[in-house]
Chains A and B, each alone.
Chain A
Amino acid sequence: MCSLEKRGNLFILTLTGKNVEHRLNPEVLSSIISALSRAKAESTRGSALVTVSHGKFFCNGFDLDWVNATGSKQEAQQRFDYSLDCLTQLVQAFISLPMPTVAAVNGHAAAAGVVIPLCHDYVVMRRDRGVLYVNDLEMGLKIPELYMAFFRAKTSGWALRDLVLRGLKIKGEELLKMGIVDAVYDGEVGVTNAGMKMADDLARRKWDGEVYAEIRKGLYSEFCGMLGIASKAIGTPKL
């Protein structure tokens, strides 16, 4: 499902999900949420989290085998909706994590799988392999209002249109130009190391984690507003 390792100040979350495509079902999502809880519990000033994955895929979306392994279309829809609710809980956990977060995208991220790298503060991606693919339009699915707000928090203008309204499989270089990823690197080792180095550099700023999380939530204000997540004012500056 996933594993969490601590290396100095760095929490390293490795996504394994279900099978080589690292697919997401409620069990997988639950285990990632637990890992993030552990990271939160052990966090100090100077902590940072990097999420990595290995192989051809970063995350290819929901476990549709699990969704469809039911007796009726209605039950399948229920399983899908439940998966989406679990994903939303995971996004909330990432958004409230009291430390900087970096996603090192080694391979393809599609459908619900696109949301995972995007709920990190920074995304580094492979240049030579892997695409981000929001495929709702291709599947004839409307994107839920909540997730439109999520995408609008990450990008705007024509880049937003290209991300969700064009059925594009977008490579690292293009995503860099669109401002959706922060840097691209060659090879899985290249991108993973770069992700860890970036997280290390951010950790060295020794930001107050609680303040960091509150400021971050403000960047997702529309999304948080829809979920009724309140913000805290923290007003004792360290001068």
Chain B
Amino acid sequence: MCTLEKRGNLFILTFTGEDQHRFNPNVIGSLLSLLSQVKAEATRGSALITQAQGKFFSNGFDLDWAQAAGSEQGAAERLHHMVDLFKPVIAALLSLPMPTVAAITGHAAAAGFVLALSHDYLIMRKDRGVLYMSEVDIALTIPDYFNALFREKIGDASVRRDFLLRGLKMKGDEAEKRGVVEAAYGGEAEVKQASVRLAENLGKRKWHGEVYAEIRKGLYPQLSAILGLTHKAYTIARL
């Protein structure tokens, strides 16, 4: 499912196994609990890397589990339930008191792409794997916090339109060129090494974790508000 490992100052979260690493309530619960652990053990100099084994980073929500409800309404309810359960995971990442890197070692689609995009830095494979928002292709609307994430993280309106409205499957070199990811490398080993290097370099700055998290939340005010993270709405300057 997912494991957490500590390597020096680095926390490494891994989706294990050769499957699609889809999110169902159990996986989501496990993710939440591991992120809590990371937060509890955080010190100055900490950094997080999220990575996966196999062909997929994550292919999103477990739609098989949703459909196993037996009816269309039941399936919709289960999907809705997962969308709600997943929100605190994104909230946890957005308020994590350390820099975060997503090592996108394979396909990242829908909620899987959203998870990757919730990190501060994205590193991707050039030779394999795509970023893909499948919702338009499978006739699902986009949850409000997914939308806010795309709006505030991806500055280029045509890129947002290509992902959300065009169902574009974007490979690593296009993602690097269009500024969706920090860098793309040829091969899983290179992606993992580059992610470790980046995370270590960020960790070496020994930033104050709480300050880091506050500044990060300030980059994404609409997303923070939707996730219930804003602690104050406005500050009126004392003149």
| Chain A, 118-174, CB within 8 A of any chain B CB | 136-138, 140-146, 148-149, 152, 155-161, 164-165, 167
Enumerate chain B residues within 8 angstroms of A141, measured Cβ to Cβ. 211
Are A89 and B239 interface neighbours, CB within 8 A?
yes
Are B212 and A146 interface neighbours, CB within 8 A?
no
Are B207 and A167 interface neighbours, CB within 8 A?
yes
At the interface, yes or no: A88 with Cβ under 8 Å from chain B? yes
Question: Main secondary structure on chain B at its contact with chain A?
Answer: loop
Interface size class of A (residues with CB under 8 A): 20 to 34
Question: Main secondary structure on chain A at its contact with chain B?
Answer: helix
Which residue in A88, A140, A159 is a CB contact (below 8 Å) of B211?
A: A140
Are B155 and A158 interface neighbours, CB within 8 A?
yes
Q: Which residue of B lies closest to A81 (CB)?
A: B238
Are A157 and B154 interface neighbours, CB within 8 A?
yes
Q: Are A228 and B236 CB-contacts (below 8 A) given A160-B219, A164-B219?
A: yes
Q: Which residue of A lies closest to B159 (CB)?
A: A157
| Chain B, 149-168, CB within 8 A of any chain A CB | 152-156
A138 to B205, CA, bound (A): 8
Enumerate chain B residues within 8 angstroms of A164, measured Cβ to Cβ. 215, 218-219
Q: A-B pairs with the 7 shortest C-beta distances?
A: A157-B155, A148-B218, A156-B155, A145-B235, A140-B208, A142-B214, A88-B237
Enumerate chain A residues within 8 angstroms of B232, measured Cβ to Cβ. 145
A150 to B15, CA, bound (A): 39
Contact with A along B154-194 (1 / 0, CB 8 A): 11100000000000000000000001001000000000000
Give me 18 other A-B pairs in contact (C-beta within 8 A), A149-B221, A164-B215 excluded.
Answer: A85-B239, A89-B239, A136-B211, A136-B215, A137-B207, A137-B211, A141-B211, A142-B215, A143-B215, A144-B235, A146-B237, A148-B221, A156-B155, A157-B153, A157-B179, A165-B219, A227-B237, A228-B236
At the interface, yes or no: A239 with Cβ under 8 Å from chain B? no
Are B218 and A143 interface neighbours, CB within 8 A?
yes
At the interface, yes or no: A226 with Cβ under 8 Å from chain B? yes
